[in-house]
Structure 1
Amino acid sequence: MNALQLEKLEEKIGYVFTDKDLLTLALTHSSYANEIKKRSHANNERLEFLGDAVLDMIVSEYMFVHFPEMPEGELTKLRAAIVCESSLAVLARKFDLGHFLRLGKGEETTGGRGRDSILADAFEAVIGAVCLDGGMEAVRVYILGFMVKQIEHTKSTFKNLDCKTHLQEVIQKISKVPLQYKIVDEQGPDHNKMFVSVVEHDGKVLGRGTGKSKKEAEQSAANNALEQMNG
């Protein structure tokens, strides 16, 4: 990737890197690194790990300060809606991030440039790169520059969805396979019974929860799944 391309991307994302190599690394998918036989960590996965944590923290801090009356459960659901894979992919597309990715030939030919998972990971990797390049204050300014509008918009359309409904909406964006809830255990005496539920998607357990009723246990499992999906 040449200097002109990096400059164009910096203009789109609104941040100029001191260390251009960090931005290049943030755009490097593992398929590209493997193809050119770079060392195993010469891709954006570690930066994505950092960016995911930083994004969660900055968004959580903003909501904690600006939504003082919102209880913990609602904060969790709102954050899950804001930083879920599909939402981050939308933001990545606004920055045309897919155009600048370095992908292996296999990912290129199978539509990797437009895949939500790859776009969302790269988006978080760029956040990680900004954090390392400019420090926490710089990355806070960078994130809030585009995320405040996203947070406020999501909150304004967020109608206190129950966790099961919200999880269903998240899954429907990426798959047509329906969710399944199962009561896998019952604990305690009849007058004080606790139910244990899991929620599965395509044979994989997404979340687990308990409750005093089957419905409450399913809601808890759905909330756990949302938390797991948004790390």
Structure 2
Amino acid sequence: MLEALGTTISPDLLVQALTHRSFAHEHPGVPHYERLEFLGDAVLELVATETLFARHPDKSEGELAKMRARAVSEDSLSAIAKKKLHVGPYILLGHGESEQGGAEKNSILCDIVESLIGATFLEHGIDEARAVVHRLIDETLDEVATEGPALDWKTSLTVKAHKLGKGEPVYHMEVSGPEYAQVFTARVSLGEDGTVIGEGRGSSKRKAQLAAAEAGWKTLG
């Protein structure tokens, strides 16, 4: 895992970066990764933004924002966690979360990537953290320039619905699960019809709506 990151992280900080809140809840006093995730998210956004800005001088602010959102999305980062870092076996989870397959959940894997970036920043500073981010997401940053509607499924669904003479997408939300591992479910319909054309789940309202919009876009053909 550290070899794939291309850096070193002190043992204590590395353990924290891999510790989910559910494990910390069962072991009082053990720090979990959420503060590191918060820090890593900011570093990731910065590096992705400056890279896209430099590589695509012809793109508008809106286009760059969509490319960045796709590059640092839960789907993209969880794929990196699985395929590049193979981090699943190292994540410290509470008993219940572990039984529910937490080590394979995209939301947790995404968090871990961000927390490792945050830990790198704390240990070595911005230059080393920037290098780690480039190792992890440069391929993704190249790919997002060619993804078309996948860059922003909600906008793409709205545009397609309008072209087909249908109503505005309406999203209906539900939340389930414990506070430390909430699951958001979104269902999207068009206008006043009420017929659900897409459903999606995620660790946030936005992620669930994006997944539902993608399903809805594909339903419309």
TM-score by length of 1: 0.67
Counterpart amino acid of residue 21 in structure 1: D
Query: How many aligned positions are there?
Result: 176
Counterpart amino acid of residue 138 in structure 1: E
* Percent identity between the two aligned chains: 36
Q: Distance in 1 between matches of 2:153 and 2:99?
A: 37
Q: Distance in 2 between matches of 1:14 and 1:68?
A: 29
Cα RMSD (Å) of the superposition?
3.1
1:51 aligns with 2:40: yes
Q: Distance in 1 between matches of 2:205 and 2:107?
A: 19
- The CA deviation at 1:164 is 2.3
- 1:60-113 CA deviation, whole Å, 9 max, x = no partner? 010111111100111111111111111110001011111110111111001101
- 1:19-50 CA deviation, whole Å, 9 max, x = no partner? 221111100001111111125xx100000000
- 1:110-139 CA deviation, whole Å, 9 max, x = no partner? 110100111101110001000101100000
Counterpart amino acid of residue 179 in structure 1: V
In structure 2, what is the equivalent of residue 12 of structure 1?
A: 4
- The CA deviation at 1:160 is 8.2
Counterpart amino acid of residue 121 in structure 1: D
Query: Where do 1:1-231 residues align within 5 Å?
Result: 9-17=1-9, 19-38=10-29, 42-94=31-83, 95-158=85-148, 164=154, 177-180=186-189, 206=206
Counterpart amino acid of residue 71 in structure 2: I
Residue ranges of structure 2 left out of the alignment (5+ in a row): 159-170, 172-182, 193-198, 208-212, 214-221
Runs of 4+ residues deviating >6 angstroms: none
In structure 2, what is the equivalent of residue 187 of structure 1?
A: none
TM-score by length of 2: 0.70
Q: Distance in 1 between matches of 2:79 and 2:2?
A: 18
Q: Distance in 1 between matches of 2:200 and 2:99?
A: 27
- Is the CA contact 1:78–1:158 (under 8 Å) kept in the aligned structure 2? no
Counterpart amino acid of residue 28 in structure 1: T
When residues 205 and 87 of structure 1 are mapped into structure 2, their CA distance, relative to the original with a 3 A threshold, is closer
Q: Distance in 2 between matches of 1:57 and 1:101?
A: 26
Moved more, 51-60 or 151-160: 151-160
Residue ranges of structure 1 left out of the alignment (5+ in a row): 1-8, 184-199, 208-221, 223-231
- The CA deviation at 1:13 is 2.5
Tell me the secondary structure at the aligned position of residue 69 of structure 1.
Answer: coil
When residues 108 and 205 of structure 1 are mapped into structure 2, their CA distance, relative to the original with a 3 A threshold, is closer
- Is the CA contact 2:67–2:151 (under 8 Å) kept in the aligned structure 1? no
- 1:160-202 CA deviation, whole Å, 9 max, x = no partner? 866525579xx9xx9885324679xxxxxxxxxxxxxxxx989
